[in-house]
Structure formats: C-alpha cells, structure tokens
Amino acid sequence: MKKRFLILILIFITSLLSITKKSITKVALLISGNSRTLSKVQHHILEFINHIEKKNNAVVHVYMCLDKKTDNIRLPNVKAVRYDTTNINKRDDFTYQMHRWNLCYNSISNKNQYDWFIRTRPDIHLLEYDIDFKKLAKDNLHVRYRWTNMDTLELEKCSWKDKNKCPKGPINVVDDQFFIAHASIAKQVFSIEQGKYDYEVDSIKKQEHFFTYIVASHGINTTPLKIKTKIMR
C-alpha cells in the first residue's frame, strides 16, 4: 500500500513538472541599431527582461545586431551578436534599420522554438510597461502609433481589419522603435519584402513610413501598445 502511494506521488510530481515545462513561454528579444548608448540603457533592458520572465513564466533569449563591435554586452542569454552591417550602412537613413532587424531575425537558427518576438533598440530606455502575453492577440502586431503631422496615409490604414482599433486624431504610422509579434506573424513583420497587398508609396516620407507599408502589404492588423520609452543620446 505504501509502495503504491509513493508511485502515485511520483507520477503526480512527474506530471506536474511536465505541465510546468510546457507552460514556459519562450521569447526572442531582438536588439538592433546603433550601440552608441548601450552602456546607458543595458540595465534598463535587463529590468525589462526580468519583467517579461516573471510576468509571463517566460525565458528570454537575446539576439543583437549592432553597428560596430563592442565588449560592453552584459545581458544574460545572448544567443547571437552580429556586426556585419557594411552593406546596410550604404542604404538610406531609415530602411537600413529594417535591414538590420531583418538580419537579426535571420540570425536565429531555430525560430520555431519561440512563442513571441520583441524588437527594441540598444539606445532605447524602456520606462513604463506592463507586458502580459495572455492579453495580446496572436494575429496582431502590437506597436505604438506615431503622429507624423502629414496627411500621407489614410487613417483607417493604421488598422486593416478593425477600424475601431485606430487612435482618433491626427494621421499616424506605426512606430518601429519597439514592437511585439507572435511567432505566427513574425516572419512577415521582420520582412523587408512587400507582401501580396499593394500600397501607395509616400514620395516625401517613404523611408520613415516604410515599416507601415511593409506591415500593410502583408495584411497584418495592428493594436496600440502602451509603453513609454526614451531615446538616449
């Protein structure tokens, strides 16, 4: 009887461990951009990683694509660091940023292991946030909207499937500085290629709006993300 009881306890513990293991959320944090102020924001990035892991029972792996080599990386679970940005720097001022995060995404050898992908910059100080993956729609890009003060985009384009998710007010584009995408749409979000839907290119602010165009061309809906950041110069 005692032996049978111990066996049942062992089965229960094994099952519990299995459930716990399966419930862990795996997150890829892609940090791409200019490393000039990485030393100033690195501890803030670490605080953000701790928040994601504790809030979501998650493990965060870091992938970095920087403009130049540095020995000042102090983040945990760094899986890849890329510096080969020679060709990227020859591109125009904005789109090279997209090529850099595309390079960062493609440096992940096993993308299927991750549930969520987060993009930020190495010069961004993350100030206020509360990220709960259970509350985020998996088929939406979670991103801030930015006022451009230009009537170059139709207001309804900020949300391609649900106009009610558009912020009311001035014309907006999606902000590329920080965003969150589920694995099911990550390939399209981090793409630098046009999707199957056509879009009209703004000749005045083509580079600045390019991320919005790419997201629209893949038919990805967007949802406003509440987060406060500051660029460190």
Highest mean pLDDT among 52-56, 82-86, 147-151: 52-56
Amino acid letter for position 36: R
Residue of higher predicted confidence among 170 and 134? 134
* In-domain check, residue 14: no
Which segment of 37-46, 121-130, 174-183, 203-212 scores lowest on mean pLDDT? 203-212
Q: Is residue 17 in some structural domain?
A: no
Q: Which amino acid is at 13?
A: I
Long-range CB contact pairs, 72-79, < 8 A, 24+: 72/38, 72/39, 72/42, 73/38, 73/42, 74/42, 74/46, 75/42, 75/45, 75/46, 75/49, 76/46, 76/49, 79/108
Domain total of the chain:
1
Residue 201 counted as domain residue? no
* pLDDT at position 179: 95
Judge whether 154 lies within some domain.
no
- Domain annotation covers residue 59: yes
Q: Is the pLDDT of residue 222 over 50?
A: yes
Angle at 13 (CA atoms; ends 50, 16), nearest 5 degrees: 50
Contact in structure between 27 and 116 (CB atoms under 8 Å): yes
Q: Which has more confidence, 158 or 205?
A: 205
In a domain, 212, yes or no: no
Q: Which residue has the higher pLDDT, 117 or 7?
A: 117
Q: How far apart are CA 223 and CA 20, in angstroms?
A: 30
Whether 202 has a pLDDT exceeding 80, the answer reads no
Q: What is the pLDDT of residue 153?
A: 41
Q: What is the mean pLDDT of residues 46-66?
A: 96
pLDDT, residue 164, reads: 43
- The predicted pLDDT at position 72 comes to 84
Rg (C-alpha) for the chain, rounded Å, is 20
Share of the chain above pLDDT 70, in %: 70
Q: Does pLDDT of 26 surpass 90?
A: yes
**The pLDDT value given to residue 158:** 42
Q: Residue 209 domain-assigned?
A: no
- Rounded average pLDDT over 70-99: 75
Residue with the bigger pLDDT between 170 and 41: it is 41
Confidence of residue 162 (pLDDT cuts 50, 70, 90): very low
- Alpha-carbon distance of 191 to 114, in angstroms, equals 17
Instruction: Supply the CATH number for residue 182's domain.
Output: 3.90.550.10
Closest listed residue to residue 172, CA positions, set 199, 211, 127, 130: 211
Domain assignment present for residue 100? The answer is yes
- Tell which wins on pLDDT, 160 or 6: 6
pLDDT band at 175 (very low <50, low <70, confident <90, very high): confident
pLDDT at 160: 38
Which residue range(s) make up the domain with 98?
A: 25-143+175-196+222-231
Give the global pTM.
0.80
Residue of higher predicted confidence among 35 and 77: 77
Give the number of other CB atoms < 10 A from CB of residue 14.
Answer: 10
Q: Could you tell me the pLDDT band of residue 154, with boundaries at 50, 70 and 90?
A: very low
Cα-to-chain-centroid distance, residue 197: 23
Among residues 209, 227, 225, 208, which one has the least CA distance to residue 217? 209
